[in-house]
């Protein structure tokens, strides 16, 4: 008879085996980025040509990310508010990927979604808000930079659409939406949820993100070493653009290496990847019902 495989861990771990594994999980954590909203018409940040950061020439910024830098905003808030008007999440509808996240919850498998997106499409898709961590904040509320008075979306939206700068009624300070700027701390909820969630996670899905921005791009190293990590993205991501390096700081390779990581990189669009996963999980009927009902 065949000698037993020298090292049983050296079996392939691909989307199919990942889906089989997922079917037994009940604490799945998702890390999402702008790539899950591009098919809804919202540009991501770093894709060449289509990414936001390559379309900001007209604001003659010192560098593209400046539009989201707090000190630049204090001196010149105009570019941000013009961009906010352009990006305003009003007509955007969730993508199949957003509905896949809702299906994970309806199947009682979703522990939490950590999203870097500020478009609130996870909420719009019907994911319960206690299952969502908006790591880079949200447009839903705004605060005066000076006296911290809170303002709601409607108040700020009206002023943005008149191409004016929203100013505080109390102290005339600049009002800034609660999206996290470079130079600002992340919401308390982000830090609170990390500790509990990444210990409990029995499966990690990383989807539609270049993993370029800290501290978000460290989260994938917090899961237990036996916790499989599935990256669904159009391109390899991370420092050296090697798909596996991105999802493990120690640069482990596919499942079965010395680090014994179960890492899967599924190179596709987010919507194709989740549709493939839905098929492998046998959830097509529920998924299509969800897509048709919304």
Q: Active site residue: 136, 143, 191, 266, which one?
A: 136
Cβ 185 vs Cβ 209: under 8 Å: no
209 makes contact with ligand APR (CB under 6 A):
yes
Sign, CA dihedral 55-63-88-46, equals positive
Q: Which of 13, 19, 46, 205 binds ligand APR (CB under 6 A)?
A: 46
Instruction: Please check if 193 is assigned to a binding site.
Output: no
- Total residues found in the chain within this entry: 294
Instruction: Please check if 171 is assigned to a binding site.
Output: yes
77 makes contact with ligand APR (CB under 6 A):
no
235 makes contact with ligand APR (CB under 6 A):
yes
* Beta strands at 110-115 and 137-144: parallel, antiparallel or unpaired: unpaired
CB of 116 to ligand APR, least distance (A): 3
51 makes contact with ligand APR (CB under 6 A):
yes
CB atoms within 10 A of CB 69: 18
136 is catalytic: yes
Complete DSSP assignment for 219-237: GGGSS-TTS-EEEEESS--
CB of 289 to ligand APR, least distance (A): 23
Based on CB atoms, which residue is closest to ligand APR, 116 or 252? 116
Token reading at 30: 């998702």
User: Cα–Cα distance between 266 and 175 in angstroms, integer?
Assistant: 41
Instruction: Please check if 60 is assigned to a binding site.
Output: no
Q: Which of 60, 103, 47 is nearest to 275 (CA)?
A: 103
Based on CB atoms, which residue is closest to ligand APR, 23 or 240? 240
Instruction: Please check if 235 is assigned to a binding site.
Output: yes
User: Distances in Å between the alpha carbon of 219 and those of 116, 124, 193, 280?
Assistant: 12, 25, 11, 26
* Stretch of residues binding ligand APR (CB under 6 A), selected from 119-127, 162-170, 210-218, 277-285: 210-218
Based on CB atoms, which residue is closest to ligand APR, 168 or 210? 210
With CB under 6 A, what is the number of residues at the site for ligand APR? 24
DSSP 3-state assignment of 16?
Answer: helix
User: Cα–Cα distance between 95 and 272 in angstroms, integer?
Assistant: 11
Residues 6+ apart with CB under 8 A from 44: 33, 34, 35, 37, 38, 50, 51, 52, 208
Residues 15-34 that bind ligand APR (CB under 6 A): 33-34
User: Distances in Å between the alpha carbon of 73 and those of 16, 163, 209?
Assistant: 47, 16, 25
Cβ 5 vs Cβ 180: under 8 Å: no
User: Cα–Cα distance between 92 and 90 in angstroms, integer?
Assistant: 6
208 makes contact with ligand APR (CB under 6 A):
yes
72 makes contact with ligand APR (CB under 6 A):
no
270 makes contact with ligand APR (CB under 6 A):
yes
Residues 109-168 that bind ligand APR (CB under 6 A): 116, 136
Q: Which of 39, 54, 242, 288 binds ligand APR (CB under 6 A)?
A: 39
**Interface residues with ligand APR (CB under 6 A)?**
33-35, 38-39, 44-47, 51, 68, 116, 136, 208-210, 212-213, 233-235, 237, 269-270
| Binding-site residue positions | 34-38, 44-46, 116-119, 144, 147, 168, 171, 209-210, 233-235, 270
The residues assigned a catalytic role are 136
Binding residues for NAD(+): 34-38, 44-46, 116-119, 209-210, 233-235, 270
């Amino acid at each position: 008879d065949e000698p037993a495989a020298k090292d049983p861990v050296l079996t392939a771990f691909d989307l199919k085996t990942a889906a089989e594994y997922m079917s037994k999980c009940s604490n799945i954590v998702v890390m999402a980025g702008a790539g899950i909203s591009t098919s809804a018409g919202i540009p991501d940040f770093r894709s060449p040509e289509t990414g936001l950061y390559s379309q900001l020439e007209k604001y003659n910024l010192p560098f593209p990310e400046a539009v989201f830098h707090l000190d630049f905003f204090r001196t010149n808030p105009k570019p941000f508010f013009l961009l906010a008007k352009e990006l305003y999440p009003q007509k955007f509808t969730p993508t199949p990927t957003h509905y896949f996240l809702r299906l994970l919850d309806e199947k009682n498998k979703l522990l939490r979604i950590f999203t870097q997106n500020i478009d609130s499409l996870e909420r719009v898709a019907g994911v319960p808000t206690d299952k969502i961590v908006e790591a880079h904040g949200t447009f839903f509320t705004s605060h005066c930079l000076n006296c911290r008075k809170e303002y709601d979306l409607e108040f700020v939206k009206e002023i943005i659409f008149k191409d004016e700068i929203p100013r505080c009624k109390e102290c005339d300070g600049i009002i800034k939406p609660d999206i996290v700027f470079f130079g600002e701390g992340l919401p308390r909820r982000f830090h609170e949820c990390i500790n509990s969630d990444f210990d409990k996670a029995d499966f990690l899905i990383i989807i539609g993100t270049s993993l370029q921005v800290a501290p978000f791009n460290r989260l994938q190293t917090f899961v237990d070493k036996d916790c499989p990590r599935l990256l669904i993205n159009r391109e390899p991501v991370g420092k050296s653009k090697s798909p596996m390096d991105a999802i493990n700081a120690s640069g482990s390779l596919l499942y079965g290496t010395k680090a014994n990581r179960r890492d899967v990189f599924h190179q596709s669009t987010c919507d194709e990847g989740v549709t493939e996963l839905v098929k492998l999980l046998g959830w097509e009927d529920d998924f299509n019902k969800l897509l048709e009902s919304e």
